[in-house]
Structure 1
Amino acid sequence: MNTVSSVAPVISADRDALRRDFPHQPFAIRHKLAGHPLLMLPRIAQLAAELPRDLIEYNSGKVAISQDPDSIPSVDLDPVEIVRRIETAGAWMVLKRVETSPQYRALLEDTLLSVARARGFNSMADAGFEQLEGFLFVSSPNSTTPFHLDSEDNFFVHVHGEKFFTIFDNTDRSIVSNDEIERSMTKHRNLTYDESFASKGKEFHLFAGDGCYVPYQWPHWVRTADSFSISMAITWKTREVRRLNDLHFFNSMLRGIGLPQQPPGLQPVRDALKLAFYRAVTAAIRPLRASMAMRRVLRRIALGKRANYYLKET
């Protein structure tokens, strides 16, 4: 590890937590992004108008923690109106892959670079922060994000309002089984939640300037309080995370044609063969993903008929 000069961090955390818990345990962070022009409603509305439609997902915020994916209530507004009317829209929205906008990419890179330097690295690559992506969340008052898990590591920064973010141990298979992990990553992210899980969760009570680190595949659910909310997930994928994700997706595809699969890690030789084949195929079709229409077709082929569930015209 290299020693670098001290730089005022965008994201900061207790040094012991950063050294002891990262990247395997959640912990609280602070940040300097509250009030940033790119994270205010007028600019977010502009971003909603610029992004491809398949990078925007929204629905009613009045959902259960254990929400059935097939019965999520919708909101009959377009994405820009959702942002403009977020205080009264009763909605939850995520703008995905915001790093496709150069301004947002610069913001994400500066923020994550400050963490890399705080850990003693000269660059994000040295710190293992690869495949940087950003997800911007806008939620109406008293909205719920159902119980789910994500396929990347995440510094979650809260910018406006009050939010409760509850995280659960991803090694506890009494909470989420291996089959549910695969399904959540490849079909629909929502997981089944039982009230008996409540005592096992770690809750972060967030205001503007607060946040938390969410490790790879740690299940969580979120709710807002009595004001609208703006938050951003600053995510990355290490080489190992990309390997695990590719195996989960290929296992899901094989399972879909009637071939049961073991979770990643139980059969290393087979994992290596599957990974090589899957990556060769995905590399061949990658140029097709430039078209939104083809992205929809490919998602449907790989993930099933409901892969484009968040597009109203589906």
Structure 2
Amino acid sequence: MRQSSTEWRPGQAQDFGRKPLALRHRLADSPLFSDAALETLIEATPRVRFHVNTIEREETDSRKWREGDMVGLSGRDVMAAVARGNIWVHLQCVQETSGAYRDALDSLFADIERHVPGFHSYRRSMSVLISSPRMNVALHADVPGQSLWQVRGRKRVWVYPPRPPFLPQDRIENIVLQRSSDTDLPYDPSYEAAAESFELGPGDWTTWPRNAPHRVQNGDCLNVSFTTEHWSDELRAGYAVDYANGLLRPLFGGRDLSRETKGPAYKAKFALAAAHKGWRWLTGAHGVRLKIDFRVDPTAKQGFVDVAPYEILK
């Protein structure tokens, strides 16, 4: 019998996707996350599939999250910049870049589905995160189901309930509709009383309910981790409702609408969301404009230098 790549305590399988969880995995020593493999992956990742970001280490205002670039740099130079600076490199959909990461992703979800009764996932993806010592990742909310897997270094993760005031309904609608970024969320220090917090070291992983806002603070060491995203029928239904509610909000005076995923109203919203998404793809009205205002530089103190701002569509 093959060894499981994840470890579960009693009761955790039933809470998967319902509550924030802290679990263990066995990929911390995988050669996929060696320096040599990461340098190769950086160089192989196309511009459309990476982000480079920075924010002041103690900043809590997610609007201060900045976007940068690293096109043309070697993987070794990027790793050096991360090690000495204050940047966060996000290599998206690495399963599309290398079959080895696709195999690892498929193996992980096969393992999760063996442990979680009735869970079936599709449209899965893996992103690799390489981030600086004490890097602060702004409060944000993701649209698909998501888990964070720690490989090297230590970080603390704070997870907040996916409801107002932590997640105003209009904010998640705008994120789903790509009218705003996933960091467009309010923050107040009083939120900490409702947060669940986990410290992650090599071999730890954590997962949380759909859209739960979260933020991250690295320990005083370079961090390597990866995220996995997935969809299920339940997640897709919730996404469709938020999408349709965002379209309908102006017609109802900005009033919040039901997020119910059953019944005639849900079916009408699902149809509206599907039709609107189809129209956007046909007209090319999709994607998000990003303002780039810095460039990775391994010789700079913070690992980057400011540049004249310009925009890209991603």
Name the TM-score class by shorter chain. Answer: 0.7 to 0.9
Give the 3-state SS of the residue equivalent to 2:88 in structure 1. Answer: strand
Alignment of 1:246-265 (within 5 A): 246-253=240-247, 255=249, 260=254, 262-265=257-260
- Larger strand share, 1 or 2: 2
Alignment of 1:263-278 (within 5 A): 263-265=258-260, 268-278=263-273
- 8 Å CA contact 2:67, 2:291 repeated in 1: no
- In structure 2, runs of 5+ residues without a counterpart are 293-309
User: Once the two structures are aligned, what percentage of the paired residues are identical?
Assistant: 20
Residues 279 and 7 of structure 1: is their aligned pair in 2 closer, same or farther, counting only changes over 3 Å?
Answer: same
Q: Shift of the alpha carbon at 1:208?
A: 0.7
- Structure-2 residue corresponding to 1:96: 92
- 8 Å CA contact 1:13, 1:28 repeated in 2: no
Alignment of 1:37-48 (within 5 A): 37-48=31-42
**Aligned match for 2:156, one of 130, 141, 164:** 164
- Structure-2 residue corresponding to 1:111: 108
- Structure-1 residue corresponding to 2:139: 147
Q: Shift of the alpha carbon at 1:33?
A: 0.8
Task: Answer yes or no: is 1:309 the counterpart of 2:290.
Answer: yes
Count of residue correspondences:
287
- 8 Å CA contact 1:82, 1:91 repeated in 2: no
Give the letter aligned to residue 50 of structure 2: I
- Say which is worse superposed, 143-152 or 51-60, in terms of deviation: 51-60
CA deviation profile, 1:101-129 (whole Å, cap 9, x unmatched):
32211111101111222336xxxxx6312
What is the distance in 2 between the residues matched to 1:106 and 1:37? 13
Q: Shift of the alpha carbon at 1:56?
A: 0.7
Q: Shift of the alpha carbon at 1:26?
A: 1.2
Give the 3-state SS of the residue equivalent to 1:230 in structure 2. Answer: strand
What is the distance in 1 between the residues matched to 2:46 and 2:251? 31
Give the 3-state SS of the residue equivalent to 1:132 in structure 2. Answer: strand
What is the distance in 2 between the residues matched to 1:95 and 1:310? 18
- Structure-2 residue corresponding to 1:189: 182
What is the distance in 1 between the residues matched to 2:192 and 2:45? 37
CA deviation profile, 1:23-71 (whole Å, cap 9, x unmatched):
20111111111121222333223223323312211111425553343x4
- 8 Å CA contact 2:57, 2:134 repeated in 1: no
Give the letter aligned to residue 106 of structure 1: D
What is the distance in 2 between the residues matched to 1:91 and 1:140? 6
Residues 83 and 240 of structure 1: is their aligned pair in 2 closer, same or farther, counting only changes over 3 Å?
Answer: same
- 8 Å CA contact 1:168, 1:218 repeated in 2: yes
Give the 3-state SS of the residue equivalent to 2:17 in structure 1. Answer: coil
What is the distance in 2 between the residues matched to 1:7 and 1:110? 11
CA deviation profile, 1:227-283 (whole Å, cap 9, x unmatched):
111111122111121122233234435557998572532995344223224324545
- Structure-1 residue corresponding to 2:10: 15
**Aligned match for 2:286, one of 293, 296, 299:** 299
Q: Shift of the alpha carbon at 1:139?
A: 0.6
TM-score between the two structures when normalised by the length of structure 2: 0.80
CA deviation profile, 1:198-219 (whole Å, cap 9, x unmatched):
1221111111111112221111
The alignment's C-alpha RMSD in Å is 2.9
What is the distance in 2 between the residues matched to 1:235 and 1:119? 16
- In structure 1, runs of 5+ residues without a counterpart are 1-5, 121-125, 289-293, 301-306
Give the letter aligned to residue 192 of structure 1: P
Residues 96 and 263 of structure 1: is their aligned pair in 2 closer, same or farther, counting only changes over 3 Å?
Answer: farther
- 8 Å CA contact 1:86, 1:139 repeated in 2: yes
- 8 Å CA contact 1:155, 1:233 repeated in 2: yes
CA deviation profile, 1:145-204 (whole Å, cap 9, x unmatched):
111111122232100001001111224x23222122223443111121111111221111
Give the 3-state SS of the residue equivalent to 1:127 in structure 2. Answer: coil
- 8 Å CA contact 1:166, 1:222 repeated in 2: yes
- Larger helix share, 1 or 2: 1
CA deviation profile, 1:81-107 (whole Å, cap 9, x unmatched):
433431013101211222213221111
**Aligned match for 1:177, one of 168, 173, 179:** 168
- 8 Å CA contact 2:143, 2:211 repeated in 1: yes
Task: Answer yes or no: is 1:130 the counterpart of 2:122.
Answer: yes
- 8 Å CA contact 1:158, 1:232 repeated in 2: yes
**Aligned match for 2:65, one of 59, 64, 72:** 72
TM-score between the two structures when normalised by the length of structure 1: 0.80
What is the distance in 2 between the residues matched to 1:85 and 1:51? 17
What is the distance in 2 between the residues matched to 1:141 and 1:84? 12
